[in-house]
Structure 1
């Protein structure tokens, strides 16, 4: 039975920027860079979906007014006309949710509102028409039942890859509204991998290794060596699609921080411009990464502190005079990279409460040390997932002395 790789995530990130990049893709790209500059400080594995986070924040933007709307517009680099972004998301959702052979991308949005409350008609129209968001009333005072209801929906949308994104302790009488986005991706490699019969070494540092299952394949891949980053860049295609798994591999063990610093400063827009099709022997570790985080602090770090404060203005969202503020932005993301493909998923939830005060020259690409990676739809230049692999087997580290 053919195995596959599944990735589920709330955020989506893309490395490739096409010749013509829309306002939405530029905005997602900008958010991805800013978030990684905060999340990437960790020495652990990192995984998130810029796309999922962006969708949730755009829904918040549609219900914001005054300074809060201006802050979201400025930080996310949005055009003045919010309809433009909404139209682009409508098209993206339709394109991604179409069934394709050997590839599945599914995105869904849901809005949960406190019992006896309702959305303002304009906000509900935007949420329904452009984001295909379903609206449900829910009794947040019954925190266990409400959490189970939300978690069940997320699990169904992500093929059971994302579970228990919200705990009952996160909900209470002050909770008024929760925005949830879920993304599921499953793709088969164009060039399937084979697993070595023996364990290979992955160098978590120059002097420390872990055992890993190293996969191997040979085929034609877009490849380039970047002298500025001092790194190799490889684009691994999925079957019958414009989607790629992209790896940025430092040439030296001490070059990883240099790559992170330059990318968070200059972005990804020109990384692959000189890539050419070459016959490459690729070695890639088989790995799974799952992350769960509250993005409140990273979002505050990039300039969105207003949306969490008593000054927040989401007056265009609910038919209520009670002021709202965001209490949490939760994201849970999963990726499974194996010999047949990738499975990934992500979910993002925003909790709002009432405010209290072709060259055949043979090359070898061996990803046996920490690297950055991302999944991108090159046709639309949309970033689906982004992260870094520091250790494919975190439970075991061996000194190489």
Structure 2
């Protein structure tokens, strides 16, 4: 159990550092667009890659994913966490009245590659991944279409084109795929009739009109000097797990950058700023939003691994 808890802390560190990379003002796109990503999906995919890697590649991945730890214990801890995530954390709770959740992994290797049986056993047993031998060299477009169909089914039609045209070709040898779907209802729902248009402030100093949901109910909310944190729990039903959405609002209009830096440099900061009780807050307003975002993970992850390990990452695979 202690090893799993440590892995969760390591995963949180990885997630917050990656979030800081996404929100960095050094990235032009971060100033003009919203971003959404699943650090859990990336962590699981890279853990699976580490399981099939060797030498310097394996050491660098473990150092990034396991907070500097390395060796068999670090790898076993990551695999145990993946097993817990697949079996328990990301298990569907809709039949018990909780959130509808789907979480799936896939390993697609070109037919010219023969996957190591030990890797296949680990991928299926711990990561609950589907492994497939495919023909990238002659049927790359067909394989991409199959992957897209699989992801669309897992995400109930939310993600329709994970692999856009040209993203895989005859030179592709391996694809690690992960799909995550979550649909939940808040315990205290906003009254749709109370939705009003309001002003939403952007990071560049301008503002735009947006519809705002509002409520005067007591909320899980706390103020910490220049930061407000709102917790919106999801309905559990008979599900013992508790999922919540957290909204972190810096007091300063341009405070996102410093908040992201603090979160990535002090992973325990998030734990210290989680509201634990309901309080009267008057009226709260939450903007309605829909985000669609795509990005090429390779270069961002290489830079992220460099930051975490201080070594130039070598991402060659040792899965044969």
TM-score bracket relative to the smaller structure? 0.7 to 0.9
Q: TM-score with structure 2 length normalisation?
A: 0.84
CA-to-aligned-CA distance 1:351-377 (integer Å, 9 cap, x gap): xxxxxxxxxxxxxxxxxxxxxxxxxxx
Q: Which residue of 1 aligns with 2:18?
A: 35
Greater per-residue strand proportion: 1
SS at match of 1:163: coil
Judge conservation of contact 1:23–1:85 (CA < 8 Å) in 2: no
Equivalent positions of 1:377-388 (< 5 A) are none
Using the TM superposition, give the Cα deviation of residue 20 of structure 1 relative to its aligned residue in structure 2, in angstroms: 9.7
Residues 231 and 246 in structure 2, CA contact (< 8 A), matched pair in contact too: yes
Q: Does 1:45 align with 2:34?
A: yes
Superposed CA offset, 1:355-400 (max 9, x none): xxxxxxxxxxxxxxxxxxxxxxxxxxxxxxxxxxxxxxxxxxxxxx
More helix by share: 2
Q: Which has the higher contact order (CA 8 A, sep 6+)?
A: 1
Matched, 1:223 2:194: no
Matches for 1:10-25 after TM superposition, within 5 Å? 22-25=5-8
> Among 173, 176, 191, which residue is 2:173 paired with?
176
How much has 1:209 moved relative to structure 2? 2.2
- 2:52 is matched with 63
Deviation at 1:173, TM superposition (A): 2.4
What is the aligned partner in structure 2 of residue 86 from structure 1?
79
Task: State how far apart, in whole Å, the 2-side matches of 1:30 and 1:231 are.
Answer: 20
The secondary structure found in structure 2 opposite 1:259 is: helix
Q: CA deviation at 1:171?
A: 1.9
Question: Residue 122 of structure 2 corresponds to which residue in structure 1?
Answer: 126
Per the alignment, residue 150 of structure 1 pairs with: 147
- Matched position secondary structure for 1:54: helix
User: Secondary structure of the equivalent of 1:192?
Assistant: coil
CA distance in 2, matches of 1:202, 1:112: 43
Query: 5 Å matches for 1:303-382?
Result: 303-304=305-306, 311-315=314-318, 317-318=319-320
Q: Deviations over 1:258-278 (max 9, x none)?
A: 322322221344332564321
How many residues are treated as equivalent by the alignment?
Answer: 295
Change (3 A) 1:192 1:199: same
Question: How do 1:152-301 residues align onto structure 2 when only pairs under 5 Å count?
Answer: 152-195=149-192, 196=194, 198-204=196-202, 208-227=206-225, 230-240=226-236, 241-267=241-267, 268-272=269-273, 275-280=276-281, 281-301=283-303
| SS at structure 2 position matched to 1:264 | helix
Answer yes or no: is 1:108 the counterpart of 2:108.
no
Q: Residue 8 of structure 2 contacts residue 81 of structure 2 at CA under 8 Å; is this kept in 1?
A: no
Note closer, same or farther for the CA distance 1:201–1:68 as it changes in structure 2 (3 Å cut). Answer: same
Query: Which stretches in structure 1 are left out of the alignment for 5+ residues?
Result: 1-18, 319-401
**SS of residue in 1 equivalent to 2:272:** coil
2:246 match: secondary structure: strand
Q: Where does the alignment leave 5 or more consecutive residues of structure 2 unmatched?
A: 25-29
Quote the residue 2:91 is aligned against. Answer: 97
| TM-fit CA distance, 1:300 | 1.6
TM-score normalised to structure 1 length = 0.68
**Structure 1 pair 197/66, CA: closer, same or farther in 2 (3 Å)?**
closer
CA RMSD of aligned residues (A): 2.5
Q: What is the DSSP-based 3-state SS (H/G/I as helix, E as strand, rest coil) of the residue aligned with 1:291?
A: coil
The Cα offsets for residues 37-68 of structure 1, whole Å up to 9 and x where unpaired, read as 22112112121111000010000000111111
Shift of 1:167: 2.6
The residue matched to 1:108 in structure 2 has which SS? strand
